[in-house]
Amino acid sequence: PIFSIMEDLRAKFEANKQGHLFTFYDKLSESEKSTLLEDLSSIDVAALPTMLANSLELEKAGGGDFQPLKSLGSVINTDKATVDAWYKKGLEAIGSGKVAVILMAGGQGTRLGSSNPKGMYDIGMPSHSSLFRMQAERLRRLQVIAAAAAGAPSVTIPWYIMTSPMTYHPTKAYFEAESFFGLSPAQVTFFNQGTLPAMSEDGAIFLETPSSVVRAPDGNGGIYKALEVEGVLADMAKRGISSIHTYCVDNALVKLGDPTFVGYCLEQGADCGSKVIPKAYPQEAVGCCCLKNGAVSVVEYSELPKEKTELRGDSGELLFSAANIANHYYSLSFLQRMATEFPAHVAFHIARKKIAHIDLQSEKGEKVTPTAPNGIKLEGFIFDVFPLAEKMAVLEAPRAAEFAPVKNAPGSPTDSPDTARAMLSAEYEAWIIQAGGMLTGEGLVEISPLLSYSGEGLEALVAGKTFTRPLHLKKEEEAA
């Protein structure tokens, strides 16, 4: 039967101009032959040409009618009572077990340059907590606050962690080795996003070895299909989840499950939401949330005309200022709809990369390592679903409390572990001052997430006291 499977596949691949993937087939061992056939069977080769054509068209198209958002909620410019009411509403939803959190951790983190998944990275705070640990502990604290507000003995927030085949095993092993950072293993679910083959500019898939193709994760937009395929949507429905918060692994300040944001989206009756931060300066290289051809969309900085980025309103505020930080809200029914609508309606973006591959002309299948971009990876972008939402809510929140990205290698002037460390320390310091404490001396300030999720509950501990930096404020049991 292997012969007929091979013949069928070969015919299909040849018909789609991918027959070269069989170049070394006759020289492979029996087990390598099955490996290749299995690898190729998982590729929808007939769909690739249309996918690639759509992506190239998307790349060429650019432009559009860009307008500022018409309605934007703001934590910055809204009175405290209203913001508190959003917080309360969100906390109630969490307390009644209806909110889940999804972490996107499938990226390869090439810029940071660590061989481990990015979430395992220690940005150098006094605790030496990894990004995963910070997030897990914030989740634990949020469960405590929500339970107290609900008068319940405990509350569980399911945490779904999206990995790619490149990050799945090390991520899972790390959580196990760290005893899930004190969370219940049953509340943590790992699931894989898909991959897509990498190809040359004209669409010929590359070989990684003579018996496998080069693959890359299908982008953070891969989340929509993966949630369905991996059974996450069904699991959420079973657990009674109706609201979902998603975020990126590499934001050291992320408030996962943020009650204020969840509450705001619930109040708006939104099926999809985005928490944005004001741009640092007009031409900051971030995606901007605005209206594109009438629909809420995220437009890449390269796509937005320079004169638009400079536009200001009556009080001098930038009109195109809503920086998207991949911090999103979804209703479960929206995600259920996107499982089919995203692949059907949304084109993948083209990333031109240096892609090492097997030289088809070489006798034994030697590897070529290019020095300049030689091919294409296709990536779905998570925010490309916004125009498909029935009611999109956008909430602006202060950058200093929300966003400390870890993208670049240590020592880089922006978005590095160093800049994230400084921002985290500054935010913790602000919490102490706000709670009536004072600081002296030099160095970093850290507050354990188990003590405070977003600055709450610190008065009894710090009011009227002066602390010396470096400072690591933690719960008594953590000190042991």
**Contact positions toward ligand UTP, by CB under 6 A?**
104-111, 118, 162, 164, 193, 217, 219-220, 222, 248-250, 407
Nearer to ligand UTP, 36 or 244 (CB): 244
Nearer to ligand UTP, 102 or 397 (CB): 102
Minimum gap (Å) between residue 276 Cβ and ligand UTP = 16
Let me know: does 93 contact 148? Beta carbons within 8 Å.
Answer: no
Minimum gap (Å) between residue 308 Cβ and ligand UTP = 24
> What are the b/e assignments for 230-257, b being 16+ CB within 10 Å?
bebbebbeeeebbbbbbbbbbbbbbbbb
Nearer to ligand UTP, 10 or 111 (CB): 111
Cα angle for residues 217, 189, 91 (degrees, 5° grid): 110
Nearer to ligand UTP, 17 or 349 (CB): 349
Minimum gap (Å) between residue 465 Cβ and ligand UTP = 37
Minimum gap (Å) between residue 109 Cβ and ligand UTP = 5
Minimum gap (Å) between residue 387 Cβ and ligand UTP = 20
Reported residue count of the chain is 480
Those residues with Cβ within 8 angstroms of residue 67's Cβ, 6 or more apart along the chain or in another chain: 290, 291, 294
Nearer to ligand UTP, 73 or 222 (CB): 222
Let me know: does 429 contact 402? Beta carbons within 8 Å.
Answer: no
Helix (H) or strand (E) holding 66: strand 66-67
Token pair of 354 as six digits: 């240096």
Nearer to ligand UTP, 104 or 276 (CB): 104
Rounded (10°) CA dihedral 157, 131, 435, 150? 0
| Cα four-point dihedral sign 142, 145, 150, 154 | positive
Minimum gap (Å) between residue 161 Cβ and ligand UTP = 10
